[in-house]
Amino acid sequence: MKAWLLEQIEQYGYGSIFLFMLLENIFPPIPSEVILTVGGMLTKVSTLHIGIVILVATAGSLAGAVLLYRIGMLVSKEHFLRWIAKYGKYVRLTQNDMERAFAAFHKYGYWAIFIGRLLPLIRSLISLPAGMTRMPFLKFIVFTTIGTLLWNSVLISLGALFGIHWERILHMMETYSLFLYGMMLLLAVWWVIKRFKKKA
């Protein structure tokens, strides 16, 4: 997929970046890390401008996030989790993925939108609980924009910095993801132990 994304972005430029970032929010297996770092790399070897790449990528991400927010307004959590249990394997999603997104949202509220945009996979899912709970749309857009702009700017800038060696960033992102998931697991274990002691 990496080679294909590189080819499409190289050929169609800003339009393909917008479209892929929109789709990445709806279909998580499309990796934003590849789209953004490739976009950044191409600013060094083509006519693409880094500022425009950041704006276009952010616009595509916002379009996808708003679409998921609207979908969230139309379905209940229970119906959606049943759908994930049945079809989630085709889009590499599990009920556990969604439960983490819901838990983060309920625990941190508006800040979950900002923080969620910085977490692999969850960044594509956090818009659903926002829609399901009818979070005020203006606040949703503000926190989504800030988090998305930060995520996109960092990865695009790294892509421009590393240039043709942009794939090294993917290894860095794998380490970043493993660290985050490890921290989430430790927090979950701590929370369970705390609840158990409290009940005891």
Which residues are CB-contacts of 156 (< 8 A; sequence separation ≥ 6)? 36, 37, 39, 40, 43, 50, 53, 54, 57
Buried b / exposed e across 64-80, counting CB within 10 Å, b at 16+?
Answer: bbbebbeebeeeeeeeb
Residue segments in the chain with a per-residue pLDDT below the cut of 50? none
Q: What is the dihedral of CA 111, 71, 123, 165, to 10 degrees?
A: -150
Q: What per-residue confidence (pLDDT) applies to 1?
A: 59
Q: How far apart are CA 50 and CA 82, in angstroms?
A: 41
Q: What per-residue confidence (pLDDT) applies to 25?
A: 80
Tens of pLDDT along 162-178? 776 656 665 665 555 55
Tens of pLDDT along 108-124? 777 778 877 877 767 77
What is the pTM for the complete model shown?
0.72
Which residues are CB-contacts of 79 (< 8 A; sequence separation ≥ 6)? none
Q: How far apart are CA 146 and CA 142, in angstroms?
A: 6
**What's the sign of the alpha-carbon dihedral 69, 71, 73, 76?**
negative
